[in-house]
Amino acid sequence: MTTAAPTSDATDEPALLAAVDVSKHFTVRDQLGRKATVRAVEHASVALHRGRVVALVGESGSGKTTLARMLAQFHPVSSGEIRLAGHRAPPAGRGYFRQVQLIFQDPFSSLNTLHKVRHILGRVLRVHGHAHTRAEVEEQVLSLLNRVNLTPAEEFIDKRPREMSGGQLQRVAIARALAVRPTVLLGDEPISMLDVSIRLDVLNLLARLCDEEGLALLYITHDIASARYLCDEVQVMYAGQTVEGGPKEAVIQSPKHPYTRLLIDSSPDPDRTGRGLRDQDDAEDLGEPPNLTAPPDGCRFHPRCPFAMDDCRRAFPDRTTFADGQWAHCWLHQHGRSAELDRTTSKELP
C-alpha cells in the first residue's frame, strides 16, 4: 500500500466508486460582505467496493456531507478526481446517477408527500427505463417494497408519505434509490432522524442489501456504535482532513489518531467501566472545532491535541500504514511515539 493511494482492501477489482485526493473549497461572504474561502475538504480519498460498507465518521462540520456530495457529483471537486469503476467519472447526469445514488438524512423532506408510493417509485422506474407498462411498474414497485420489508407490499403501494412513520418513509427513500438499480449507495446519516427502536431495522436492511446484492455503501454517521455494527471499514474526518481509516475493529478498538481516540472515548457506552462521566473531575475545556475559513496550519487538530509538537503546527503529516491496513495521519508515528497513544488514559486526553 503506497502512501497516496486511497484505502483499498484485499479485493483486486477496482473500487466501484472512489474519491482520489479530492478537495472542496467554498467561497462565502462574511457579515461585512468580504469574501472568504471555506476549506471544507482537503485531500481526502475514499474507495467503495462491491458488497462492502465504509463508514465515514467525524464531528459536525468535518466535511462528511461535502465528501459524499462530491462522490455523488452534486458538488464539483475543487481538485482531485472522482473515479467510477476505475475510470474518471463521467459528468453528472442520468447515466451517472444510475450508478450512484444518495440517500438523505431526512426522509420527510426528500420525498414528495402528495403522491402515493406507487407513483413515487413508478416514476423513477420509468425515467430510468426499467419499466414501461403499467403492469411492469406495478410488479417492480411491489418487488421493491418487499426488498425493503415494507410488507404487505400491496398495502403500502397505495400509501402516501404522511400516512407512514419515519422508519417506513426512510425505507421508501431507500426503495426509490434502489429503483434506479445503482451499484453504489451513499447514505448521509440515513438513520439519525429515525426513532431509536426502528433504526436497527434500517441498518439491517442496508447490511442485507450489501451482503446479498453486492451494493457498495458509504455510511455517514456521528454514531460510532452504529458504524461498527454495519460497516467493514471506518474512515475518520476532522475539520476537512481524513485523519484515520482502516478495518473497523482496528480503528475502534485501537485508534491511531488522537482525535479518533477522543471521539471513541466520548461516545456513550452503556458498558463503560472505570471512569464514567459521573466521576470525572474538573476537566479542561476541550476547545472548539476550528473555523474552516482560517483553519489551523499543519494538522488541524493540533490546537486541541495533548500530544502536539512543533511539526504538528508546521505540516500535515504523511500517512503511516499499520498491519492489517489501518492508517493514520499523525506525527506521533513519525517520531516513534506511537506507543503514547495506547499508554495515555482517557483522563489525560483533553
Partner 1 sequence: MTARPLDTARSASAPSSALRGEPLLDVSRLTVEYVTERGAVLACNEVSFTLRRGEILGLAGESGSGKSSLITALTRLQRLPALTTGGEIRYHTRDGHLLDLVTLDERRLRPLRWTELAIVLQSAMAAFNPVMRLKAQFADVIVEHQPGITGDEVAERTGRLLRMVGIAPERAHSYPHELSGGMRQRALIALALACEPELVVMDEPTTAVDVVMQRQIMAQILRLQRRLGFAVVFVTHDLSLLMEIADRIAIMYAGRIVEIGAPQQLYTDPLHPYTRGLRDAFPPLHAPLTKLAGIPGSPPDLRDPPPGCAFHPRCAQRLPECEQVLPRLHQVLPQHGERQVACLLHDSIDPGGEAS
Ligand X SMILES: Nc1ncnc2c1ncn2[C@@H]1O[C@H](COP(=O)(O)OP(=O)(O)OP(=O)(O)O)[C@@H](O)[C@H]1O
Choose which of 9, 26, 115, 267 interacts with ligand X (CB under 6 A): 26
- Residue 63's binding partner among Mg ion, partner 1, ligand X, none (Cβ under 5 to 8 angstroms by kind) is ligand X
**17 Cβ partners below 8 Å, 6+ apart?**
47, 48, 71, 82, 83, 84, 85, 89, 99, 100, 183, 184, 216
Residues 330 and 317: beta-carbon distance below 8 Å: yes
Q: Write down the least CB distance from residue 188 to Mg ion, Å.
A: 6
Choose which of 17, 38, 172, 218 interacts with ligand X (CB under 6 A): 38
Residue 292 near ligand X by CB under 6 A: yes
Query: Contact region for Mg ion (CB under 5 A) — 57-65, 264-272, 317-325, 329-337?
Result: 57-65
Q: Write down the least CB distance from residue 66 to Mg ion, Å.
A: 8
Q: Write down the least CB distance from residue 128 to ligand X, Å.
A: 28
Binding footprint of partner 1 on the chain (CB under 8 A): 59-60, 165-168, 195-201, 204, 222, 224-226, 228-229, 252-253, 262-272, 276-278, 280-283, 285-286, 288-289
Strand partners, 186: 102, 218
Residue 226 near ligand X by CB under 6 A: no
Residues 145 and 157: beta-carbon distance below 8 Å: yes
- Residue 345's binding partner among ligand X, Mg ion, partner 1, none (Cβ under 5 to 8 angstroms by kind) is none
- CA of residue 282 relative to chain centroid, distance: 34
Short-list 25, 29, 19, CA closest to 235: 19
- Residue 274's binding partner among partner 1, Mg ion, ligand X, none (Cβ under 5 to 8 angstroms by kind) is none
Q: How far is CA 148 from CA 29, 122, 137, 241, in A?
A: 43, 15, 17, 34
Residues 13 and 27: beta-carbon distance below 8 Å: no
Q: Residue written as cell 456521528? A: 222
Residues 206 and 8: beta-carbon distance below 8 Å: no
Residue 65 near Mg ion by CB under 5 A: yes
Interface residues with ligand X (CB under 6 A)?
26, 28, 38, 40, 58, 60-66, 292
Interface residues with Mg ion (CB under 5 A)?
65
